[in-house]
Amino acid sequence: MIYLDNSATTKPYAEALDTHRTVSEQFFANPSSLHKLGGKSEALLSRSRELAASLLGVDKKEIVFTSGGTEGNNLAIKGAALAYRRRGRHLITTSVEHASALNAFRQLEKLGFEVTYLPVDHEGRVSFKDFIQAYRDDTILVSIMHVNNEVGTIQPIREIGEFLKTHPTTVFHVDHVQGFAKVPLRLAESSIDLCTISGHKFHGPKGTGILYVRSGALLSPLFSGGGQESQRRSGTENLPGICGMVKALRMTLEREKEGILHLTALQNKLRDGLSQIGGAVIHTPRTGSAPHIVNVSLEGIKSEVLVHALEENDIFVSTKSACSSKDSGASSVLLAMGVPENEAEEAIRISTAFETTPEEIDAFLSALSVHTRQLKRVMG
């Protein structure tokens, strides 16, 4: 099997799964229970929070454990908007955010908030100038993804953060789900108030995530309950998942530097190979993009057809974001970039991981070339 859909999810590390099982068996007590078993679970939860904070370079009080990227984005966006609504009701985001962010903003619009959706250029990048023009005195929240999940474009997070340093009444949220450990982002140095990461994107268990909440930043909780996670996220903590995720977090960051070099080499190999296939149009920008994503259209071949053809070789890629892949129609991200609709309907996303080998890329390119020729003959 050749798995090239790592932007949708990654295969969990065996060590992370081992940790999950061990904690499930030996630390099953509720961390909120007063008895000794509950105390042991609480202590393990505290150690996991300290380790996660240390790995991310933040304070342990700034770590909120969540169920993943969707919850993290919703808590950050809705929680901040509701917490600061007396300051103003203007919000800024982009037209190419993940569905969990875009739909959160659409809900807020129904509650009376005004949202500016920044456009992107042909590479999928927002203009800092457009951001400055959109910013207002009553802007209370700016939410921008670091790395686009479909094409890999990196957004100008540092520039926006620098600007917002001098505008302390605005909260800055970054969806770092796709960028984590592939495009480094130092939270303490980037003027970010809220940051979302998801465990299953870096070989941790599904249903786990972290929302970084800068000290002093306010959130209106989405869940009513027992007040876990410092009153910000009620619900009994998923201790086995948290521990498995933190194990994956440590393992991934230990491999980050060499891993990024490896992913970059694989991406260059992919680009070179794709350029040899007739009718291939690469949408991922050559510069200013993450090293693990390549989005490409094959002229005259619908993406779904190509995805299923590659399955015959036990090769797995995707069409667009996994959360939107079953929706009919072309990618909204590619359309926002100005890609013609017919071309956008022909796009596939290839996404690699640290474990992906050059030999797997060669095998993929070979199979893609064969299927492209065969499908064009059939459709021609």
Q: How far apart are CA 347 and CA 97, in angstroms?
A: 18
Q: How far apart are CA 293 and CA 179, in angstroms?
A: 10
Q: How far apart are CA 133 and CA 96, in angstroms?
A: 19
Q: How far apart are CA 296 and CA 309, in angstroms?
A: 16
SS3 content of the chain, % helix, strand, coil (to 5): 40, 15, 40
Q: How far apart are CA 96 and CA 119, in angstroms?
A: 8
The closest alpha carbon to 265, from 360, 177, 180, belongs to 360
Strand partners, 172: 142
Asked if 77 contacts 218 with a C-beta cutoff of 8 angstroms, the reply is no
Distance (Å) of CA 38 to CA 49, 66, 299, 331, 351: 16, 20, 59, 47, 41
Q: Which two tokens stand for residue 166?
A: 């001098």
Asked if 348 contacts 367 with a C-beta cutoff of 8 angstroms, the reply is no
Asked if 143 contacts 97 with a C-beta cutoff of 8 angstroms, the reply is yes
Q: How far apart are CA 300 and CA 11, in angstroms?
A: 32
Residue 26, Cβ neighbours under 10 Å: how many? 13
82: helix, strand or coil: helix
Q: How far apart are CA 245 and CA 251, in angstroms?
A: 10
Spell out where the chain has E strands: 2-3, 63-66, 90-94, 114-118, 139-145, 171-175, 194-198, 209-213, 280-282, 293-298, 315-316, 347-351
Q: Please list the active-site residues.
A: 323
Q: How far apart are CA 307 and CA 317, in angstroms?
A: 6
